[in-house]
Every structure is written in structure tokens, then in C-alpha cells.
Structure 1
Amino acid sequence: MSILALDLGTSSVRGLVLDDAAVPVAGALARRSVEVAVDDSGAATLDATAYLTALIDCVDELAAAGHLDGVRLVAVSSLWHSVVPLDKSGVPLGPLVTWLDTRPTPPPGVTGPADPDAFHQRTGAWWHRFYWTVKLPWLRASAGPGLFLFTGLPEYVLGALLTEAPMSVSQASGTGMLDLAALDWDDEALAIAGVTRAEVPPLAPAGWLGRLRPEYARRWPALAVVPWTPPVGDGAASNVGTGCFEPSHAAVTVGTSAAVRLVQPVPPGAPLPPLPALVWRYRVDHERIVTGAAYSAGGNLFAWAKKTLQLPLGEALEQALAPIAPGKTEVRADPRLGGDRPPGTAPSGAGALSGLSFSTTPAEIFAGLMDGVCEMVARDLATLESTVDGATEVVLGGGAMAAQPWWRRAFQVALAPRTVRHVDNPEVGAVGAALLAAGLIPAAPAGR
């Protein structure tokens, strides 16, 4: 059995074929870059229609090369926290708002949850611009007439390809409006967002499988009767893809953004573990939760620094960084150039540097920025470990980790004395989604 994994990311959309053990097949990869439109207002949006075209192009490329022959299952990993307003025909009424967008503000007079702590425990989220409780009323004010439904990126693109595309509990948890224990939309969250259940997607039940629409079944005959599994949030999929699907292992993933996360088994109806005040919690699927902290600074910070500081590339950059000891950089940095992820509220442009002199080199500034991210992760990992028994083993993953050896060493220093190892696989999200879709993750007893 082969598995087609689709990875719907912030900076690219990828399709790859994996074998029956969820190992990528050499050469069976199609990728299209997508561009987030950003400006000084804090906007960070994607063209949903162009994104769908990019996804179709990827599948077309794999089909033309014969890579879809033998595929028996389709898995999807997708960015979390996106939203786009649609009309009754499913046509976007504006661009898709991504997790990077810092513009949403609450409407005047709305005060949020009656009990913020209880709301946080129930939904894993806060009343924050990052989540649909603030995004939806803000979008409604600008969407104009004809608004019919709010939906996320995976539901939009899969809605065009499949006969139906309900929202997975994983994607719904990323909206900040899902009751994580009841696995249903939270009534208070819906009220705060000012929407009815008819204005948000239906939720996919356990065991849901999708099928291609007839026109796409004819276009890709190898996939005509192949089942599609519910999309998994990219962060949860990345944890699984790095082997971190039990609470003894924490994943630090650095792709476009960065995050530290722990996965725990919590099946439907089981009580949720207490949630510390400054970390979030979402659903991996119906059987597992993921708790963590995330940062707007990750691979995007790496890319910005390389361009702005005109850093050398490859081995030349490593040589420039070699004299700089991780964790002891003279340049101190607040790396929040893109603002805060929740529960923080710092806007885009909150980054800062100190300790500069006329002798400071671009490599030293770069090292200070990378160290700044490591410090944030180390702080929040300690909070996550307070919810489980003992320290965790840490697995580093993601494209930026694969590309930057000095940064990997900096994480090892910041997270010591924990065991820290690196998984050199830029496709951990797709691999994780495939492992979950194929049921290749061993069940762990609840409470571990």
C-alpha cells in the first residue's frame, strides 16, 4: 500500500508518496511555493483560489509521473488557525487570513468569556486575535453581503476536491472554539464569535473518510476510489512525524514558525489533564491531545536574517558562526519580529536587539537571534514538563533545523541536561499525517 500525503503549509504546498511504513518514496515529491501577502498593517494572507490551483498542480505532477499508481490512502497535514469567508457558492469573499495576521480586534463592547480560566481549560485557547472568537466578527465586518460560511484552508481546498469536507477535530481545535473533551463546538465560543453552527463547518465524526468528486476521479483515476482521511494540524502531525507521540518525548519543530509540543492519549469522554495558564492545547485526533507553545519566529526569522544581514551561505556561514558559543552570545535578542503567538499580544515589530557595538558582526547578530528562540523554547518546555512525570527527551525537527547546524547546537545547550537529538527529515508533517492515517502509531495507555 502506498500513501499520498498532502502537506498544506504556509510557504508551500507539497504532495508526496510514502510506502506502507510511511517512508517517503524517492523522487515522488511535488512542491509549489505559495506567497503570504504581508504589509505594515499586520496583514498576512493567502489567495485561497491560487492555493487550490497549486495543490491541484502537485497532484497532477505526481499523476503524470505515475507516482499515484498503487496509492490506497490519502493523508493531509495542514496549517492551523486559518480562516476564509465564503459565499453560498463556496467562493471566497476575501483573502484567507493566516496565523501570521495580527490585525483582528474584538468588536466594541464584547468582553470575552465569562470565566477565562474555565474557557482556557475547556477549549485549550484564549480570547485572542489568533483564534476564530476574535477573527470571525472582525472578518464579518469587512466581508460584505453574501457571507454564508467561515471555513479554514483545508476545508476550502478539500471542499473543491471531495464530495464533502467536514472539519476534523484537529483543525477545529486550532480555531479555539472546540470543546476538547466533548469534541463539539463550544457554545460560549460560538456566542463570543457571533456565529451559529450553520456558519461554521460541520465536524467530521470518528472514522470519517472522504472521496473525490467525479470530475477529479476522472482526472486522477488512480485515486478514484481511494479514501481521504481527516486533515491533521501541521503541528500535531510534525510531533508524530518526529516520533513524539507519547508524553515522554517533546518535539521542537522549526519550520516557518517554531513550537514545542507534547502529545498525550486522551480518548473521547476521558477527563482532560489540567492545563497550565500560558500554554495551549489542541487535538491531534479523536484519541490524542497536543499541548504546547508556539512562536512567530522560526524558519522565517532564519530567512529574514540571511537576507537582511547578507550572511554567507552553507559552510561559509558555519565557519563564521564557529567562534560563537551557543548560549553565550554578546548580542541579546527578542526575536518576536512577527509579534506574539497567544497568549501574548505583542504586535508585529516587537523584535529588539541589544549589546551591539561597532565590532559586532552579522554572524553575531544572527547567533543572538537564534539563541533568543532557544531561550523561549526552554522556558516553555519546563512548563510542559510540569504536567508529566519527569523531564522529557527532546527531538528537533523541521526544515530550518535540517538547514542550520549551529542552531541545533544552540538548542542542545539551551535544553541541557535533557537528551536532545535531531531528526533530519524536512517532511515530518507529511510523515506524521501518513502514520496517523494508516494507524501506524501504537496506542499508549491513558494517563501515561
Structure 2
Amino acid sequence: MTPLGNILAFDLGTSSVRALVLDAHAVPVPGALARRKQSPTVDDDGAATLDAQAYLAALIECVDELHAAGRLDGVTHVAASAQWHSILPLDAAGKPLGPVLAWLDTRPRAPETATGPADEAAFHHRTGAWWHPLYWTVRIPWLRERSGTAPAAFTGLGEYVWSALLGEGPISVSQASGAGVLDLSAQTWDAEALSLAGAREKELPTLAGPGWRGRLRAEYAGRWPALAKAEWAAPYGDGAASNVGSGAGDASRAAITVGTSAAVRVAQEVPAGAPMPPLPSQLWRYRLDHTRIVTGRAYSGGGNLFAWAQRALLLPEGDALDAALDEIVPGRVGVWADPRFGGDRPPGMTPPGEGRLGGLGLTTTGPQILAALMDGVCAQIATDLAVLESTVGRAVDVRLGGGAVAASAWWRRAFASALAPRRVEAVENPEVGAVGAAMILLADHPNG
């Protein structure tokens, strides 16, 4: 195994691709960051897709930028945090047959003749997921129905990128669990989930075993000689990596992350083969790695609500907006909001467009509406955090991170108010996903 040096870490997100270099302790190297924005194609029917080849090109541009600046020297390992739930149909040659369905895409529906799991509660406990349009159990049959060419295989966005760069793209148990087709305890593809998806194991990515590492194909090793011998770990799920990067890698702390969307999660030690702890019906559960699970709830509304309000209400920016929000007391805004503008994440089935605002009057201001949206997200999360705490048997501290809350002092105060009396600490590092992925890799390295 290669001795530890610097780590190249990626965050393969919905709105951007980011690449940064960290030292052997997962501390970012100053100035060693490259990013490229991404814009999912969305429409009123619920579509939210990404162009896989354009996404790959953006990642390559990031690495080219770091290479040109000499930032890749000394890199020995590569890790990535990648969006959960994405899926891409492939032809027999491994080429995309269409765009990537991102987690935001709400169009998939189960075939009319399908009946779902034989025992929904047992299926949920075993896989941590539901028979729901977010997961491959519904997405694979839906994609088959709409493909002009019958797909030969299905993969995730991160696995597609890795396959292009390395020549192989196995899937980590973290990413596989987010697809909703993994037996969490056995860490194998779940037989009932495969049956629901109408898929065979050979049509899915190979599961990466503990300690799996890949290396660049010759084409890219020549392009980036500093990475020629670097060891690449299979991408981890973004939510799991964010927990670790936020300092919430065990059951003593919950991580609340507000980026484009929002989520609350708690990690626990549960090795392969061990029985799963009880799982409340409204929570999902995935694997963080081969020895830990992560349980939580996710929401479609987060920083995208902030961005919508800025755009639609023509709000002031910077200090002017901060000053206007300072006049508003969290929890006592005078306006209320149902923040499900983008619909529900599982197990909910509410479609996009169900957001609500109430209590509006002729004196209502734009900053009040924005505050109501932020308060609404806080209230959702506070309710589910109480349920989440029941799975670990105690109240937990909270690590609050993500670009959206990092940009809004008012939102941080609103979370502290909604979650009191818990201790709420803000995470200053905006790159918790990439840093968390590097930390998971380090934990798996004998010299980490």
C-alpha cells in the first residue's frame, strides 16, 4: 500500500464539481482548489438531469487546472464525495444512453403492474430505503421503458466518472446503499430489491470491497504524471462524507448540512453482519463505510430556497440583507412557510410546487418571506432530529454546516433557536464533503 502523502479530494455535487488538495491529515492546502459550476436541466414535469460527458469534462478541467499550477505534486491518494441516488443507463460499450437522473428528478414511477416489497417494514429495515422514485428499484424499470436502446447496465455518476478515468468504476457500499438496493448488514445487493428493479447483478456496478484502490488509465496518467501512481478510492456518498467532514462521524453528534438541499444525519458503528438498530418509518439509513451506518432524513429545500427568494423577491445582498434580517427574531417571523417548493424526499411523495407561504399582509417584506423559508427548514429538521435521537437513545450535539448556512448568520441563529437546548456548533470549513471523503480514506489506511 502506498505511503500517505497529499490527498486529491473531489466533491461531485449537483451544482458544481470541486477538486482540492489536502495534506496527509486531511487539512486543505491553501490555494489548491479548482471548481466548475454545473447546472442541472430541469423542467416543470420534475426532470432534473446532468450530462455525464460534460460533467466528466468539467472534472478533467479541474484536475488540469491543479496540474498546471503544480498542485498535484506529492499526491498519493484520491478520494471523492459524490451525490447519492444518481443513475445513468449505459449501452454494451459503457456509453451513456441518456442523461444522468439526479436526486432532484421526481419523474420516475413504478410500473402499473408492480406491487412493491412483500413486507414493506422488513424491506425498509433491511435496505434502509423504500420502494420510492428516488431509488433504483423504481428508476431502473422507468428508464428501461423510455430507452430507445435497451440498457446493458446502470451506474451512478461518480462510478461513471471513475470508469472513464480508471477503466473500472466499482461502487462503494456507501453509494450502493444510497441506491436503495443494498442489504445493509450483509453488504451485498439485496435479492428482493433487484427483483423490484428487474435487474441482475451483472447489470449493476461491482461492489468495491474494503480497501479497494484503482489507478489512472495510461491516457490520464500521461496527462497528469503526478497522479500516475496515486491510489483512487471508490466515491463515498455525499451525506456520509459530510458527516465525517463535519466532525460527526459517530453517534455523539448529529450533522445538519444545508447546501442546495438539506439533511440531518447521525452515524453509528455497525460492522458487516451485525444486526441493524431499530429504524423509525420516516428515516432512511445508508452505509457510511464497511463499519459504520448513517441514519437520517433529507429535504428538497435548502439553499435553493434562499436562491429562489433572492431571485424572485429582488432582495438586497450582502450587508444590506444581513441588516434587514437582523430586525427579525427567529421563530417569531410573523410569516410562515411550508418549504416543500421542490417536493418531498423519501418517504414523502409530495411533488414539486407544493410550497406554501402564509400570514402575508400589505406590510410583509421580502426579508420576512426569506426568514420564514429559513425558519420552515429549521422546524422540519428539529422535528426529525428528535426522532433520530430515539435511534441512539439520547440527545446529541449538532454540527451545522454547508454553504447555505455558512453564508447566512441569521440562518445559523435560527437553527440554534429551533434546536435549543442542544449545543449547536457551526462548521467553518465549506468543503466538508471532500474533506470527509479524505478522512474516510485515511481511516481505512494503516498509516492514517
TM-score band, normalised by shorter chain: over 0.9
Within 5 Å, give how 1:211-226 maps onto structure 2.
211-226=215-230
Superposed CA deviations along residues 217-266 of structure 1, whole A, max 9, x for unmatched, are 11111111110012110101111001001111000000111000000011
CA contact (8 A) 2:17 2:58 kept: yes
Pair 309,441 (structure 1): closer, same or farther in 2 beyond 3 Å: farther
- 1:146, CA displacement in angstroms? 4.1
- 1:163, CA displacement in angstroms? 2.8
Q: Does 1:371 align with 2:389?
A: no
Q: Which residue of 2 aligns with 1:327?
A: 331
2:55 to 44, 51, 56: 51
- 1:90, CA displacement in angstroms? 1.4
Q: Does 1:278 align with 2:282?
A: yes
Q: Does 1:244 align with 2:260?
A: no
Q: Does 1:3 align with 2:15?
A: no
Q: TM-score, normalised by structure 2?
A: 0.97
Q: Which residue of 2 aligns with 1:39?
A: 43
Q: Distance in 1 between matches of 2:418 and 2:165?
A: 45
Give the root-mean-square deviation of aligned CA atoms: 1.1
Matching residue's letter, 1:186: D
Secondary structure at the counterpart of residue 24 of structure 2:
coil
Superposed CA deviations along residues 412-448 of structure 1, whole A, max 9, x for unmatched, are 0000010011011110001100111112899xxxxxx
Within 5 Å, give how 1:313-392 maps onto structure 2.
313-392=317-396
| Seq. identity, % | 64
Q: Which residue of 1 aligns with 2:409?
A: 405
Superposed CA deviations along residues 93-133 of structure 1, whole A, max 9, x for unmatched, are 11100100110001011010000000000000000011011
Q: Distance in 1 between matches of 2:49 and 2:24?
A: 36
Q: Distance in 1 between matches of 2:208 and 2:329?
A: 49
Q: Does 1:424 align with 2:438?
A: no
Q: Does 1:193 align with 2:197?
A: yes
Secondary structure at the counterpart of residue 52 of structure 1:
helix
- 1:389, CA displacement in angstroms? 3.0
CA contact (8 A) 2:144 2:150 kept: no
Secondary structure at the counterpart of residue 232 of structure 2:
coil
CA contact (8 A) 2:97 2:149 kept: no
Q: Distance in 2 between matches of 1:114 and 1:244?
A: 35
Q: Does 1:112 align with 2:116?
A: yes
Q: Does 1:312 align with 2:316?
A: yes
Superposed CA deviations along residues 5-48 of structure 1, whole A, max 9, x for unmatched, are 01100000010000111111110000000110000000000011
- 1:301, CA displacement in angstroms? 1.1
1:78 to 57, 76, 82: 82
2:301 to 297, 303, 312: 297
- 1:180, CA displacement in angstroms? 0.2
Q: Distance in 2 between matches of 1:383 and 1:440?
A: 31
Matching residue's letter, 1:286: H
Superposed CA deviations along residues 345-387 of structure 1, whole A, max 9, x for unmatched, are 0001010111001110000000100000000000000001011
Q: Which residue of 1 aligns with 2:266?
A: 262
Secondary structure at the counterpart of residue 14 of structure 1:
strand
Secondary structure at the counterpart of residue 135 of structure 1:
helix
Q: TM-score, normalised by structure 1?
A: 0.97
CA contact (8 A) 1:88 1:146 kept: no
Q: Distance in 1 between matches of 2:155 and 2:235?
A: 13
Q: Aligned pair count? A: 442
Q: Which residue of 1 aligns with 2:140?
A: 136
Matching residue's letter, 2:385: L
Secondary structure at the counterpart of residue 264 of structure 1:
strand
Q: Which residue of 2 aligns with 1:95?
A: 99
CA contact (8 A) 1:264 1:290 kept: yes
Q: Distance in 1 between matches of 2:168 and 2:401?
A: 33
CA contact (8 A) 2:46 2:105 kept: yes
Matching residue's letter, 2:123: F
In structure 2, list runs of 5 or more residues that go unmatched. none
CA contact (8 A) 2:382 2:418 kept: yes
Superposed CA deviations along residues 274-308 of structure 1, whole A, max 9, x for unmatched, are 11110000011101100000000011111111111
- 1:171, CA displacement in angstroms? 0.5
Pair 324,411 (structure 1): closer, same or farther in 2 beyond 3 Å: same
Q: Does 1:147 align with 2:151?
A: yes
Pair 146,111 (structure 1): closer, same or farther in 2 beyond 3 Å: closer
Q: Distance in 1 between matches of 2:203 and 2:321?
A: 50
Matching residue's letter, 2:310: K
Matching residue's letter, 1:392: V
- 1:87, CA displacement in angstroms? 0.5
Q: Distance in 2 between matches of 1:67 and 1:287?
A: 33
CA contact (8 A) 2:211 2:444 kept: no
